[in-house]
Structure 1
Amino acid sequence: MFNLSKTEVLGFTLILLLAIVSLLAPLIVSVIPHDVSRLPYAPPSHKNLLGTNDIGEDVLVELIYGARVSLTIGVVAALISTVIGLMVGVTSGFYGGLTDEILSFFTDVVLVLPALPLIIVVAAYLKPSIWNVVLVISLLWWPGTARLVRARTMQLSEGGFVEGLRCIGASRLYIILKHIVPNVTEIVFAKFVTSVAQAILIEAGLSFIGLGDPEHKSWGLMLHYAIRRGGLLRGAWWAFIPPGLCITLTALAFILIGMGFEERSRIKTKEI
């Protein structure tokens, strides 16, 4: 069991609260006061705790449901990109030779591509959808994980215990699944956690410039509508500060957790 640092405890606490809010969104919305008078940019009051947006919708209600969208996109995109990076990294590092050269070349090609501009271009070309956003992010954000996993796999493959397994006739698949993958899970988890933060920020950026899915309003899309439809000019801070703060705190929480696991992974790597 890990002895978590204070920053990691803070990160896990924030993520736990976010997860609870996301899972219990309908129940929470049913008990909080939210007037449906449709008054645009009404300030916070006992009827609307965080005021209303440009079309009179309750900002707090949007914020709660937006947590579901932003968190889903972040977790799913990070999960897909991490799995791709794990598969490529382990295969490249364990088999070596021509396999390593081909996969490393492909990884380097994707790595040197201007990811953010390319994500914007592809997202603009595709139909606005949260799953298209997930697909674009996940297919362009895996090389970093692959590079780290490859390096760790090569280090493990050169270890005595792997050579011993090869000598007694253990299959490559057995060695990979039973001994390589379990020993890279820590670095993979650290990369996954930080990738969630990056995916949430990327999605927020795409939505902010109008490339989000209007049918599933995320925090980034809330910012887009607040700025685009006069919230900033009217001084309606409740329309853009809460979603911006949620994006910042959520990304920070995942980053704090990821930094802690990355530090443990570095220490463990030095001990091998």
Structure 2
Amino acid sequence: MTTDTTPPAMQAGPRTLARQRRRASAARLWKQYSSHRAGLLGLAALVVFALLALTAPLTVGSDVSSVTGAPGHPLEAPSGDFLLGTDRYGRDVLGLVVWGSRVSLLVGLLAAVLSVAIGTLVGITAGHFRGAYATVMMRITDWFLVMPTLVLAIALATVMSRSLGTVILAIGVTSWPTTARLVRAQTLAVESRPYIERAKALGGGHRHIMVRHVLPNVMPLVLAQTTLMISSSILAEATLAFLGLGDPTVVSWGGLLQDAREAGAISAGDWWYLVPPGITIAVVALAFTLCGRAVESVLNPRLGVAR
């Protein structure tokens, strides 16, 4: 009678081994990320804001943005009934800030994903195909880099209908060039490695090379860039809303600032109308930036980012 002395890890199937490797890799990345105090602080702040956004219908109610039947008087100072005062319609500013987190975070996330997706596609294809295609795409990228992103976004949002989709599209299609440049440089570095030449010699086509070899190697850069882009997208959304180019039917942090400006809160000294949405924008943007820097340093230790 023989006894199987093969280790359990060798007896497991390929899918089990792949899951084990992914779990081990995730645990290793989390251990490295948790050593960055600034990154943990930013992540904790984002978790708090995400929970507030998800539970907003339960905590402040879905009718908090309704102008009719507002619970307070216009521009009431903070009190026991309204911790952050009321706006020009008598609505609770605290409830509006909590509810506005849903729109601002959603727009920032979707716009960043769209921007990074466009930049990744342009960067990988321009780095892979070279020649005339790469020259044309890089000249287009340079044109977008030279033009102010905010000006292009304002122009696009002006000629289109005022909606969240317009804001997301305006931010996404004007902020991709930086990602394209970074991804193209990484693609050129990856395709200079010997195993790419072996894959081509074995019959690997363009799609195989880009999807199976280049994309996995640029994904860490894409992930870090996405985290950083969310911060910029939230600030861009707030700017467009402040300029009156956002969706007037929804509540966002930038929209609250625009309402406060129209109500004359700046000259009247109604600070409770201006400060809360401004602080939330700054805190969330800073939190995403801290997380992005921490992720960047974990995925690329050579950067030597301070902890």
- If the length of structure 2 is used for normalisation, what is the TM-score? 0.82
Q: Does the CA contact (< 8 Å) of 2:116 and 2:225 recur in 1?
A: yes
1:199 aligns with 2:230: no
For structure 1, which segment, 161-170 or 59-68, has the greater mean C-alpha deviation from structure 2 after superposition?
161-170
Written as runs of structure 1 = structure 2, the 5 A alignment for 1:48-127 is 48-127=82-161
Q: Does the CA contact (< 8 Å) of 1:43 and 1:50 recur in 2?
A: yes
Partners in 2 of 1:236 and 1:10 — Cα distance? 31
Name the structure 1 match of 2:77: 43
Deviation of 1:54 (Å): 0.7
Name the structure 2 match of 1:21: 52
- If the length of structure 1 is used for normalisation, what is the TM-score? 0.92
Q: Residue 294 of structure 2 is aligned with which of 247, 260, 270?
A: 260
Partners in 1 of 2:211 and 2:243 — Cα distance? 43
Q: How many residues align?
A: 267
| Counterpart amino acid of residue 224 in structure 2 | A
Q: Name the SS of the counterpart of 1:46 in structure 2.
A: coil
Q: Does the CA contact (< 8 Å) of 1:93 and 1:100 recur in 2?
A: yes
Name the structure 2 match of 1:215: 249
1:9 aligns with 2:40: yes
Percent identity over the alignment is: 37
Written as runs of structure 1 = structure 2, the 5 A alignment for 1:104-253 is 104-253=138-287
For structure 1, which segment, 141-150 or 228-237, has the greater mean C-alpha deviation from structure 2 after superposition?
228-237
Deviation of 1:135 (Å): 0.7
Task: Flag the structure with larger Rg.
Answer: 2
Deviation of 1:144 (Å): 0.6
Gaps of 5+ in 2: 1-27
Partners in 2 of 1:219 and 1:165 — Cα distance? 50
Partners in 1 of 2:147 and 2:175 — Cα distance? 11
Deviation of 1:57 (Å): 0.3
Deviation of 1:116 (Å): 1.6
Gaps of 5+ in 1: none
> Structure 1, residues 184-212: CA drift from partner, whole Å, max 9, x if none?
11111111111111111111111112222
